[in-house]
Amino acid sequence: MEIRTVGIIGAGQMGNGIAHVCALAGYDVLLNDINQDALDKAMSQIDKNLGRQVGRGMVSEEDAKAGRDRIKTTLKLPELGQSDLVIEAATERETVKDAIFKDLVPHLKPETILTSNTSSISITRLASRTDRPEKFMGFHFMNPVPVMQLVELIRGIATDEETYKACLAVVEKLGKTASSAEDFPAFIVNRVLVPMINEAVYVLYEGVGNVRSIDEAMKLGANHPMGPLELADFIGLDTCLAIMNVLHDGLADTKYRPCPLLTKYVEAGWLGRKTGKGFYDYRGDTPVPTR
């Protein structure tokens, strides 16, 4: 089937980025959230990011305006039911995602493809609780969505070839590159990336190095653009912990045990940039290490 309309659930950092790139690519987008403030902030962020792209000569003013005009917002989840493709980008908790799909499924067209932007949760398991496991798959964008070129496409055990090809065509129309992954915990990128971050937290926990020395070592010694603790703050420490728990529970291997210090930071509400404090304190002009 040809995808013309895209419904997006969740107007946070990932959701607004997905709305941005889909609208620029010519899709009519309906962005949903349970909170009007979140929708207002999302549209403000989209305007800001489009303006930045225009300023850098990446997008013309006409294309930016046309893209912006293709995005509509709603607080009513059932209104997404007429979309050709739905991308769920809500918080990384399986119970939340299950509840969303339960509420949405009765309103979907029979041909609608249902996808999740989950970074780690089983696609097969999510799909099994819907009425269309063959039309369900993982559609995992990288953050920040307008900048990052990769999209992981994850097939559940029941996902059919037509659904995969339709989603692959969307990725190509967005001007991004698809990486096909099998449905195992955390897929490809986060299966490799987040355990590295967790190990960096262990290095900090054990006193091998402090925050600054660990990040500088990996930037200058391994040519990483961001240190692992700086990256953790950017991703969100709660998200990193959630992914480690999925890996630990799903693969039953002690090498995926979340570092106790990561758990402690999350318990303290120090989640990184989004809360103003994580492995760095962002409340001043310059980020300052917290350890």
User: Which residues does the annotation mark as catalytic?
Assistant: 119, 140, 152, 190
Confidence band, pLDDT 50/70/90 cuts, at residue 132: very high
Confidence band, pLDDT 50/70/90 cuts, at residue 162: very high
How much is the pLDDT for 56? 95
CATH architecture for segment(s) 191-289? Orthogonal Bundle (1.10)
Question: Exposure string (b/e) for 136-146, b if CB count within 10 Å is 16 or more?
Answer: bbbbbbbeebb
How much is the pLDDT for 144? 92
How much is the pLDDT for 73? 98
The answer to whether 141 and 187 are in contact (CB under 8 A) is no
- One-letter-per-residue 3-state SS of 107-173: HCCCCCEEEECCCCCCHHHHHHCCCCHHHEEEEEECCCCCCCCEEEEEECCCCCHHHHHHHHHHHHH
**CA quadruple 243, 244, 249, 251: dihedral, nearest 10:** 100
Cis peptide leading into 133, omega within 30 of 0?
A: no
DSSP state, residue 258: P
**pLDDT tens digits for 107-120?**
999 999 999 999 98
Pair of tokens at residue 278: 């994580």
Q: How many angstroms separate the CA atoms of 244 and 255, rounded?
A: 10
The per-residue DSSP string of 78-109 comes to GGGGG-SEEEE---S-HHHHHHHHHHHGGGS-
Domains 5-182 and 191-289 share a fold: no
Confidence band, pLDDT 50/70/90 cuts, at residue 92: confident
CB within 8 Å of 58: residues ≥ 6 apart: none
In the chain, domain spans:
5-182, 191-289
**pLDDT tens digits for 187-199?**
999 999 999 999 9
**pLDDT tens digits for 17-76?**
999 999 999 999 999 999 999 999 999 999 999 999 999 999 999 999 999 999 999 999
In this predicted structure, the answer to whether residue 1 has a pLDDT above a threshold of 80 is no
Tell me the average pLDDT across 207-235: 97
CATH class of the domain at 5-182: alpha beta
